[in-house]
Amino acid sequence: MMIEILKSKLHCVTVTESNINYMGSITIDEDLMDAAGMISGEKVQIVDNNNGERFETYIIKGERGSGCICLNGAAARKVLVGDTVIIISYCLMDFEEAKKFKPTVVFPENNRVVK
C-alpha cells in the first residue's frame, strides 16, 4: 500500500511579491528550495497563516539568495505581500517505508536558510 506523507516544508516564510499577470505557480529562492529538498515543477501546498487560505500550485526556481517568495497568477489573489505562509511538499511512499521516513522541515529567518 502507498500513502501520501509529508516530504518537506518551508515553515513560516514571508510573501515578498505577487504577480497576477503570470500564468501560475510560486517562485521560491533556490537556497530555500535546496534546503527543503524541493525542485522546480514540484507540486506544493501553500498555507497562508494570515487569512487561512490553502491551495496547491507548482514551484518555479527563484534567484539564489534573494529570499524571494512570489505567488503568481491566480494564486496571487489568495495572498498579500507580507503574509506568512507555509510551503509543503508531499510524496507517495510504501506504508512500511513511511513509518521510518523523516521529513525535512526548514525554519528560515527573514526568508534565508539558517545554518
Residue 45's CB is within 10 A of a number of other CB atoms, namely 15
- Determine which one of 18, 22, 40, 58 is catalytic: 58
What are the grid coordinates assigned to 28, written together?
521560491
Express the helix, strand and coil content of the chain in percent, nearest 5 each.
15, 50, 35
- 90 among known catalytic residues: no
- 18 among known catalytic residues: no
What are the grid coordinates assigned to 115, written together?
545554518
Is residue 24 a contact partner of residue 70, using CB atoms and an 8 Å limit?
A: no
What SS3 class is residue 31? helix
- Determine which one of 8, 18, 22, 25 is catalytic: 25
Residues marked as catalytic? 25, 58
